[in-house]
A and B are shown apart, each in its own frame.
Chain A
Amino acid sequence: MTGPKIIFFILAASIVVFSILSITSRKILRAAIYLLFVLVAMAGLYYMMNFPFLAAVQLILYAGGIVVLIIFSILLTSQINSRLDPPKRGHLLSGLITAVGGIALSAVTILGFAFKPSTEPAIGTDMRTIGLQLMGTGANGYALPFEVISILLLAALVGSIFIALKNRS
């Protein structure tokens, strides 16, 4: 067993374990922290795939942004002694069926796919390439999605300001 393989299995095992813990935990902040560990372990996987940019974005957006936001709202709304109610039997059953179905579907798809090692030379993932592609209008350019998403974000910003406005006279 080689070093990277061991690290891969550690990361994979922690993703599985913490995902399960995060949905079974009855304490809401603990669930958020387990989710954080899952996201960090996924950043580790991206890093192992030699794509440090995606790993850093995963950390900065999901771990540093979204999880912080979740924790922040938990801090504002819940108390340390409060626990979530155990799920109803019907919900539990339907959730289990959905989960097993999802696992089966992904397993069938993944196992049926022949992973051929690519012979293409690796594309550099430096900042310049990413920036040019993100703003590019030609082939493989992402200028349109980029602009559409920024308009969506702008709308969200305006909306949140309107909601937070104190006197709507």
Chain B
Amino acid sequence: MYDFSPLIDSLSAWLNQTFSPFWAGFISMVLLGVALLAFYAVLGLYLVYAERKICARMQNRLGPNRVGPGGLFQTIADLIKLLMKELIYIRNADNLLFNIAPFIVIVASIMAIGSIPFAKGLQAIDLNIGVLYILAISSMGVIGVLIAGWASNSKYSVIGAMRSGAQVISYELSVGLALLCIIAYAGSMQLSEIIASQQDGWWIFKGHIPAWIAFVIYLIAGTAETNRGPFDLAEAESELTAGFHTEYSGIKFAFFFLAEYMNMFIIAAIATTLFLGGWLPFHIWHFDAFNRIMDYIPPVIWFFAKTAFVIYLMMWFKWTFPRLRIDQLLALEWKYLLPINLMNLIVIAFLILMQWHF
């Protein structure tokens, strides 16, 4: 039920029958690219809307509520405004690097989205090293941030970029190690296989307490990796005006902005896939009637509901915690998260060795 692979297979079979292999491949690439881009843009806009609404709720106000019902079209209006804004040309900036920086950031996040399984068969590329691929691709984003800061030729931007670089490089370790815990449980890096291994229970339930620890560390480190509050030192408004994207305007600024939200979505989607069972429905052991009802809810809805839950968690602590200082930030990673993570991994290896996990 709700398997997308027959649909995709019949589409690709039709393409291969009608066109030569070259054009079939070309057309499927274009279709996939357009679909991912459209998804990216729409989701990005509504994540911004969700952030503004949740922030407003936390601060006891209404948030956007004039454009469309409940302010639903506010972010679209904002996008139109951003598209029409002037792209400011900076005389003493390194213009080549200044202009490619937003594209590096956004390409990194689009490529990561390509390998996320939204439902059975609804995954653009299912590599056998899926998790490593996502880590590798998302580590490219920081290069865009660094060169954006340097090429702007502004003190605020350089300081923002340095902070962001130090932060992302250190927290990448924790993200990788926390994901390694689940890879060790699942015995595979392929995202579809990791989901298949959760058929009888999500890893956060099957993996005992170490899986919970890994989940919490992943959430902290993932939030830090996307440069979001309380780790948003790279763009701390009160000290650096806007950090690495101070000098950007119009659509180039929007690229950074969009990429930040999509990186948050990617972090949440990976948390969903590895810890919360991906698109699998919620099942309770030996409770067949309940499980049958849960099976009727389509996997796409399950995936987005779980991802939305993780995104809500991340927004919640963005708006409730104060911003950390840079030394606190690095001490948190190197003195607490990393040792806990390594110990956690050893415990998990021991659990797997003794076959104590379910």
Contacts and interface: CB of A to CB of B under 8 A. Distances in A.
Contact of A56 (B25, B129, B142, B187): B129
A52 B133 contact: yes
A3 B25 contact: yes
A30 B143 CA distance: 12
Interface stretch (B146-154, B204-212, B336-344): B146-154
A60 B132 contact: yes
B240 to A, nearest CB: 15
Instruction: Please classify the interface of chain A as helix (H, G, I), strand (E, B), loop, or mixed, using the class held by over half of its residues.
Output: helix
Contacts, number: 95
Nearest to B29: A3
A127 B162 CA distance: 34
A125 B153 CA distance: 45
A33 interface: yes
Given A72-B162, A126-B128, A127-B129, 7 more contacts: A3-B22, A56-B135, A59-B136, A64-B142, A68-B142, A75-B146, A80-B93
A67 B26 CA distance: 32
Contacts of A40: 140
A75 B161 contact: yes
Interface string B158-171: 10011001000100
Interface residues of A, number: 30
15 contacts: A3-B25, A30-B94, A40-B140, A52-B128, A63-B136, A63-B140, A64-B136, A64-B140, A64-B172, A67-B143, A68-B142, A68-B169, A75-B161, A80-B151, A127-B129
B136 A60 contact: yes
A29 interface: yes
A64 B139 contact: yes
A9 to B, nearest CB: 14
Interface in A67-84: 67-68, 71-72, 74-76, 80-81
Contacts of A74: 150
Given A2-B22, A64-B140, A52 B129 contact: yes
Closest 6 CB pairs of A and B: A64-B139, A59-B136, A60-B136, A56-B136, A56-B132, A80-B153
Interface of A: 2-3, 27, 29-30, 33, 36, 40, 52-53, 56-57, 59-60, 63-65, 67-68, 71-72, 74-76, 80-81, 125-128
A68 B133 contact: no
Contact of A63 (B143, B147, B158): B143
B139 to A, nearest CB: 3
B137 interface: yes
Interface in B254-308: none
A60 B146 contact: no
Nearest to A25: B96
A75 B129 contact: no
Tier of interface size on chain B: 35 or more
Nearest to B188: A127
Interface string B312-327: 0000000000000000
Contacts of B146: 68, 71-72, 75
A63 B140 CA distance: 7
A59 B140 contact: yes
A128 B162 CA distance: 37
A68 B143 contact: yes
B36 interface: no
Nearest to B168: A68
B147 A71 contact: yes
B189 interface: yes
B70 interface: no
Given A59-B139, A60-B135, A80-B94, A29 B150 contact: yes
Contacts of A56: 129, 132-133, 135-136
A71 B165 CA distance: 10
Contacts of A29: 94, 97, 147, 150-151
A81 B92 contact: yes
B71 interface: no
A25 to B, nearest CB: 10
A113 to B, nearest CB: 30
A102 to B, nearest CB: 29
B220 to A, nearest CB: 20
Contacts of B94: 27, 29-30, 80
